[in-house]
Amino acid sequence: MPPSTVDANTRFMAGYHEVNARIAQRQHALALHVTLVVGLLAALVAFRPSAGIDSAPIEWLILGFPAASICFAFLNYKAELALTNLRTFLAELERLGEAHRRMPSYNADPRWSDSANKARRFHDYAAAVLVVGGNLIGLGSAMAIHPARMAAAPVFLLVAAVLAVGSFLIVLLTARSSYALR
């Protein structure tokens, strides 16, 4: 009995299901990042100094802003690599039997894939703005709410700023890994 095979159409549908799952994961990572930044901001405000009570050691808390951004940047990069791999696979399936010459091919025709990539850049812009904004708001709030603690521990602020810039660069460089018709 010959081994059973999975036809190209089934593989194509499975590939697109996986693309949709990866896009959903990327959006969930974005939502997770926003949630973590808002939670960290709430903690900064909750730990504000009050009369007669020393302020909490928020120096460690401010490292959470760039840590959340770095995790988001890596998850975003991972999703981009997976999407690029899947779209390359789908483009190959679209080319089977020269089918891309007879019918529209989203991944194998630059008229479609190039404009889709241009539209996708807006996700990259949104991600970069959220990373920058979250870190600026978080670190700025820490300096405004806890000026004495920040002045006493400038190394934490410097490390947080360097990590924040690094996460921003990772998000910006992720676009270089995007799908391109080969």
Q: Residue 58 in 3-state DSSP?
A: coil
The model's pLDDT over 46-87, given as tens digits with 9 standing for 90+, comes to: 888 776 666 677 888 999 999 999 999 999 999 999 999 999
Q: Residue 165 in 3-state DSSP?
A: helix
pLDDT at position 100 is 85
Cβ density class 45-63: b for 16+ within 10 Å, e for less: eebeeeeeeeebebbebbb
What CA–CA distance (Å, rounded) separates 127 from 120?
A: 11
What CA–CA distance (Å, rounded) separates 61 from 160?
A: 10
Inform me whether the pLDDT recorded for 88 exceeds 70: yes
Inform me whether the pLDDT recorded for 38 exceeds 70: yes
β-partners of residue 88 are none
What CA–CA distance (Å, rounded) separates 152 from 20?
A: 48
Q: What's the pLDDT band for 176 if we cut at 50, 70, 90?
A: confident
Inform me whether the pLDDT recorded for 30 exceeds 90: yes
pLDDT > 90 in the chain, percent: 62
- Mean pLDDT for 27-49 is 93
Q: What are phi and psi of 82, to 5 degrees?
A: -65, -45
DSSP string, 106-175: TTT-HHHHHHHHHHHHHHHHHHHHHHHHHHHHHHHHHHHH-HHHHHH-HHHHHHHHHHHHHHHHHHHHHG
Inform me whether the pLDDT recorded for 20 exceeds 90: yes
Burial classification of residue 31, based on how many CB atoms lie within 10 Å of its CB (0-12 exposed, 13-18 middle, 19 or more buried): exposed
Inform me whether the pLDDT recorded for 2 exceeds 70: no
What CA–CA distance (Å, rounded) separates 83 from 177?
A: 10
What CA–CA distance (Å, rounded) separates 32 from 174?
A: 18
User: For the chain, what is the mean pLDDT?
Assistant: 90
The model's pLDDT over 92-138, given as tens digits with 9 standing for 90+, comes to: 999 999 888 888 888 888 888 888 888 888 999 999 999 999 999 99
The verdict on pTM exceeding 0.95 is: no
What CA–CA distance (Å, rounded) separates 100 from 66?
A: 44
pLDDT at position 70 is 97
What CA–CA distance (Å, rounded) separates 90 from 80?
A: 15
The distance of Cα 35 from the centroid of its chain, to the nearest Å, equals: 14
